[in-house]
């Protein structure tokens, strides 16, 4: 049975704030991130202003939890599979108007929704068949369908916020910090030889991961005491 070592790390100083063992699957790792954020807030009264992570944390429910429930800026790439590879218009080619809650297609027509949530997570916006029948762009839009449909996640607002952060200087700085933080996991295997766990079960995995984090933090503290970060670097971080 495989376990994943999940860290919550202060990216300014590279100090591990919390540890959570989980199953080595994406959903469990996302759940571990929530657990660590809530536990750190409860224990120490600390909550990050931003969360830096990879696309595994970029699904709509996680982004919504960060933005709407915790007030944390997601410096995370959005997990998005809406890009089409058949040459037809993707969802990004349609402009969403939040005022009227409608999409506008490349041909200038509106796509509205009935408000029905499908499968508990998606709204469908549909174009009029009459509009699509006479549209010269139909071969590039919906050649095999009577009219075009656009799915919109109920948490799309949070995804839009994450998209607006991506590409900014702050996002690029966070991405650079994440690369340095990932060295912790390489250190676990190469130096601490934690490629294979010795204790059994989820509690055994948690105990080993916590001990490894303590060792890494002690090493980091020693480095900070010997060579504290320059004042200028601290101001910019």
> Residue 1: exposed, middle, or buried by beta-carbon count in 10 A (0-12, 13-18, 19+)?
exposed
Q: What is the DSSP letter of 206?
A: H
- At 200 the pLDDT is 83
Sign of the Cα torsion 24, 177, 213, 42 reads negative
- At 233 the pLDDT is 47
CB 16 within 8 A of CB 34: no
Residue 235 has pLDDT above 80, yes or no: no
127: helix, strand or coil: strand
What is the per-residue pLDDT across 17-40, written as a single tens digit (0 to 9) for each?
A: 999 999 989 999 999 999 999 999
Domain boundaries, given as residue ranges, for the chain: 3-77+166-236, 91-153
Q: 182-198 b/e with 16+ CB inside 10 Å = b?
A: eebeeebeeeeebeebe
What is the per-residue pLDDT across 70-128, written as a single tens digit (0 to 9) for each?
A: 999 999 999 988 888 888 999 999 999 999 999 999 999 999 999 999 999 999 999 99
How many residues does this entry show for the chain? 237
Per CATH, which fold does 3-77+166-236 belong to? Answer: Nucleotidyltransferase; domain 5 (3.30.420)
With a pLDDT cut of 90, the percent of the chain lying above it is 72
What is the per-residue pLDDT across 184-217, written as a single tens digit (0 to 9) for each?
A: 888 877 777 777 777 788 899 899 999 999 999 9
Distance CA 162, CA 109 (A): 27
CA triplet 63, 69, 71: central angle to 5 degrees? 80
- At 192 the pLDDT is 76
Q: Are strands 73-75 and 50-52 parallel, antiparallel or unpaired?
A: parallel
The pLDDT confidence band at residue 236, using thresholds 50, 70 and 90, is very low
Distance CA 220, CA 6 (A): 18
Q: What is the pTM of this model?
A: 0.84
Nearest in space to 105 (alpha carbons), one of 153, 138, 130:
138
- At 228 the pLDDT is 67
Q: Are strands 102-104 and 95-97 parallel, antiparallel or unpaired?
A: antiparallel
CB 65 within 8 A of CB 87: no
- At 237 the pLDDT is 38
């Amino acid at each position: 049975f495989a376990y994943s070592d999940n860290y919550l790390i202060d990216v300014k100083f590279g100090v591990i704030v919390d540890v959570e063992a989980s199953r080595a699957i994406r959903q469990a790792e996302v759940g571990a991130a929530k657990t660590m954020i809530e536990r750190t807030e409860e224990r120490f009264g600390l909550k990050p202003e931003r969360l830096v992570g990879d696309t595994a944390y970029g699904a709509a429910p996680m982004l919504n939890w960060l933005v709407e429930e915790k007030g944390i800026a997601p410096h995370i790439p959005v997990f998005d599979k809406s890009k089409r590879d058949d040459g037809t218009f993707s969802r990004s080619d349609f402009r969403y108007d939040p005022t009227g809650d409608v999409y506008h297609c490349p041909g200038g027509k509106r796509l509205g929704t009935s408000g029905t949530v499908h499968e508990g997570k998606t709204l469908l916006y549909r174009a009029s068949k009459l509009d699509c029948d006479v549209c010269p762009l139909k071969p590039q839009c919906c050649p095999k369908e009577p009219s075009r449909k656009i799915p919109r996640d109920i948490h799309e607002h949070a995804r839009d916020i994450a998209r607006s952060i991506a590409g900014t200087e702050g996002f690029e700085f966070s991405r650079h910090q994440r690369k340095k933080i990932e060295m912790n996991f390489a250190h676990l295997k190469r130096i601490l030889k934690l490629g294979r766990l010795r204790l059994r079960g989820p509690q055994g995995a948690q105990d080993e991961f916590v001990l490894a984090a303590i060792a890494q933090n002690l090493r980091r503290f020693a480095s900070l005491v010997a060579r504290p970060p320059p004042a200028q670097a601290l101001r910019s971080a």
